[in-house]
Amino acid sequence: MTAGHCMCSGSGKLLENRIRVTIGEHDLKIKNSKEIDKKVIKIHFHPKYQCGKFIDDIALLELENDIYWTKSIGPACLPKNYDNDNDLTNRSATLAGWGWLNEKYSEGRRPDILQKVQVNVFDNDKCRDWYSSQGKNVKILNTQLCAGHESGGKDACWADSGGPLMISESDNSVTVVGVVSTGIGCGRPKLPGIYTRITEYIPWILNVINN
C-alpha cells in the first residue's frame, strides 16, 4: 500500500517495470540477507485517482509472488474497528519513513536509517480550523485525516510520501490507519500532515486483494 502520487511522474503513471519493492529494509547503506527484493507486476490505482492530485491518493502494488513473515518482516493490518472519525481522534500514532529531516533542504538531509516519530490524530474540523488560522485555504476531506502536533516539530517531510501511519493495538498488532499524502511544509505549528484515511478505502482494498 502506498500513495497514488508516488506511482506517478508528473501527470503520467509509472510503468510497473520501473518499480522495485524492498521488504525488511532498515539501513540503506547496508545490504544483508534479511532484505527481500520483489518485482511489481501491477499497480492498482484507486479508480478515481488522478496523477498530480491528492484526492483518493492511494495505490496497491501487486508483487510477483508471496511474502513470508520472518522475525524482521511482518504485516501491518488493515483497520477493522474504526468506523468513524471519532474512533481515531486523539489517538497516538507512529509515522515511519526515510524522508528529509528538515523542511529546508540546505539544513536537512535524508537519513540512511529508517526513522519513526509519534504524532497525534486530530479531528478533521479542528484541522480545518488550524489551517484556516494560518491563512491556508486547504480542503480536508472525509477521506483524509490529519496527524501531527499543534506546536509542530514532528511530522512527515519530503520523500516520506506513501509511508504508513500506524496505531498499536491492545493485542500487540499494528494497524495502518493512514498513508502520507500531502501537507504544507514539515512540522509547522497548526499545520499537521494530511493522510489518506484507510478506513474509507477498505471495500476497494479488499476487492483488489480478492480479485
Do the beta carbons of residue 144 and residue 181 sit within 8 Å? yes
DSSP-derived letter for residue 13 is: E
Looking at the chain, how many residues does it have?
211
CA distance 52 to 180: 15
Is 161 one of the catalytic residues?
Answer: yes
What is the rounded CA–CA span in Å between residue 66 and residue 64? 7
Tell me if residue 57 is catalytic: yes
145 and 197 in contact (C-beta within 8 Å)?
yes
From the list 57, 155, 160, 181, the catalytic residue is 57
Angle at 181 between CA 179 and CA 182, to 5 degrees: 145
DSSP element (H, E) containing 164: strand 164-168
Place of cell 502536533: 149
Q: Could you confirm whether 181 is annotated as catalytic? A: no
Q: Where are the alpha helices (DSSP H) in 62-160?
A: 124-133
**Could you say which of 44, 155, 160, 161 is catalytic?**
161
* Residue of 5, 46, 56, 160 with catalytic role: 5
Distance CA 192, CA 146 (A): 6
The catalytic site residues sit at 5, 57, 161
